[in-house]
Chain A
């Protein structure tokens, strides 16, 4: 049951990162590459029409963790207090930017709200990557100082950074050079993804340029990935243990590298959908590979006193998980039906259709 719910949560959150990920990426592309007002408008719309229904996946994912893994929810949400609240702020701020931009006649005001949208998207992409880095690296569970736990063994509190910026201390911060690397990878990944979305959904004048941008970013992505794998063993001495014990898990890194490889041929694809699918799979591959290398741990401990949080020691009891499985499966199927219907209805290029507002 724990594994079943873990898979369900990962899928829902994975879909969230694919869906809202293209909104973040669109924001980043908007910030750096959109120069003409016509492009700015249509690119903002490529995120503006979808962001709120995409955020619904975050709500569903959060609710599912609360139900299935309440201890993880309690521990991680309170421990990552500051970064999480800041993510909330950026989510609100992004919404303000997107919704305000169309309300003003003058370019000056439009520019301000564009910047709000772009900068929050960039920071959201960075923060979500940093968050994934934190989960991979682990935290000082129990707040151990000099061999004594300050809190219950499953609680912690992370400052934004520690004085040495280092991930190898017991007392880690949210931001260090390891998590920042993952954050930058996330920005690059989502920029690729967002550029694909812009190409797919709009006829903006920068579409051809963006294909070149994606190509260059894919090169950067390869370099960054190799770098992160090289520093991986500093964080986790046995990063490949799970893969060796369970070769089936190799499917996830294969997914990641396969889709990254495919992105290099972006200029050859006849259908823009192909490269969007590739960057979607790349996101899913990155998340699942990270989690697969940790499984069943979901939040490692950086000290030796308190054990890591796993899906087993954080889960609800069996009755709750079983009864929820009934409505969970139904809900899950419905989610995908909604998604397909919505994408069908709002398919095609944005600037070619009249949505009525």
Chain B
């Protein structure tokens, strides 16, 4: 049983982590493409450069979207294959949002993507802009429905529990619109996605400038990426990150204690941990650096408000991997802080019109590109490890959601298969994206003109 739980979770974690490399870029990039296309269609100078840039990024979008489709199908299947009890018990409720995602957003995204790429000559400029906008709408609607599904698992609403343990939907609008968890999580997630895309856009820009190739586009990408990056890296922390932390404190206090690393309840205000390693043997933090009372203030706007530590919860209700949760959360927060600093600095030089000359900063931006991905993924780890040991918070434990007939050996076998295939897929992805970036947007425009 323990083995089954371990391998099923590992397989899901591996496949979802790999999958989420792609949507996190496409969601943010879609917005940036809408901006670029909008600048071309509605801007004062109607600069052709913006249109070429929009096409260039749509090409990168398309590669990522394809990868997202290919790795997304195993996600949907795994609910049934590895988590059949979970599917049986909750399909009544979250089947709604997942099916809507498949039916509406996915279609919206994939169809209008095709229309955008192949249809420019067939329609007016404004129609073509609309296509970009609908791709954006599809990808964000997709994100919303997935977040609404996850929000229901974090904070179940609009259901009744039948005698046989099945969750029965009683309110569609509660599930889709009214869950207090959904909107903050969605906005936080979308801003985080925009951080990733901004870094990708600006790092391609930095690459072109540093390599002294496509320099005009390099500057455009830098400008666009840094402006979006500055806005989004602020918004991802304040207010959206803050809202989410408050939701965790309110709906999942045990999780809150674990992710903040509070082992013991203090009578007056709680300190905020900056650095330290959870020591699960002695139930304390090693090498701790902390600032007193800040956590209470941030959470409740009250310096002396008491925050319950892990000592106040039963062991079986606390997340089962506290160090992993704690690190995931702190890596996310730490990286987020670095992003704000870098983007603010880049924004300053951009304002002074000197950014393209500050080589050291360009190098930094270029090599920083994996880190927003790490921040996004550790952010999701925080949400998912934090929900443990439950699948549906407080109601259905993770070990109760497994497929009872699928043995751990079978899951390990399929996990190994996924690892091998995804390595190949990752290689393909790098080749395709690398080639597109190398060719550059200029080639793009000469291609679309004949």
Show the binding face of A for B, using Cβ within 8 Å.
Answer: 52-53, 55-56, 58-64, 66-71, 73-79, 81-82, 84-85, 88-89, 91-93, 95-96, 99-100, 103, 143, 151-152, 154-157, 316-317, 319-320, 323-324, 327-328, 331-332, 334-335, 338, 341-342, 345-346, 354-357
Contacts and interface: CB of A to CB of B under 8 A. Distances in A.
B107 A93 contact: no
B102 A62 contact: yes
B80 A56 contact: no
A66 B87 contact: yes
B448 A356 contact: yes
The residue among A56, A84, A154, A341 with the most chain B CB atoms within 10 A of its own CB is: A56
Contact of B92 (A52, A61, A70, A91): A70
A348 B251 CA distance: 56
B12 interface: no
B98 A91 contact: no
Interface stretch (B228-236, B314-322, B367-375, B400-408): B400-408
A92 B117 contact: no
15 contacts: A59-B76, A60-B99, A62-B80, A62-B102, A70-B91, A78-B405, A78-B406, A85-B417, A88-B74, A89-B421, A100-B428, A155-B405, A323-B96, A335-B107, A354-B450
Contacts of B438: none
Closest 4 A/B residue pairs (Cβ): A70-B91, A77-B80, A67-B95, A63-B102
A69 B95 CA distance: 9
Interface of B: 59, 65-66, 69-74, 76-77, 79-82, 84-85, 87-93, 95-96, 98-104, 106-108, 110-111, 114-115, 117-119, 122, 168-170, 172, 403-406, 410, 414, 417-418, 421-422, 424-425, 428, 431-432, 435, 447-448, 450
Contact of B73 (A58, A67, A341, A354): A58
Given A68-B95, A78-B406, A63 B76 contact: yes
A317 B73 contact: no
Interface residues of B: mostly helix, strand, loop or mixed? helix
Contact of A324 (B74, B81, B99, B106): B99
A320 B103 contact: no
A78 B80 CA distance: 6
B110 A331 contact: no
A257 to B, nearest CB: 33
A327 B98 CA distance: 13
Nearest to A346: B118
Contact of A74 (B88, B99, B103, B106): B88
Contacts of A55: 69-70, 73
A52 B104 contact: no
A91 B70 contact: yes
Given A60-B99, A151-B404, A76 B80 contact: yes
A78 B88 CA distance: 11
Contacts of B87: 66, 70, 73-74, 77
Contacts of A357: 59, 117, 447
Contacts of B110: 52-53, 56
A316 to B, nearest CB: 5
B121 to A, nearest CB: 10
B84 A316 contact: no
B137 to A, nearest CB: 13
Contact of A85 (B69, B414, B422): B414
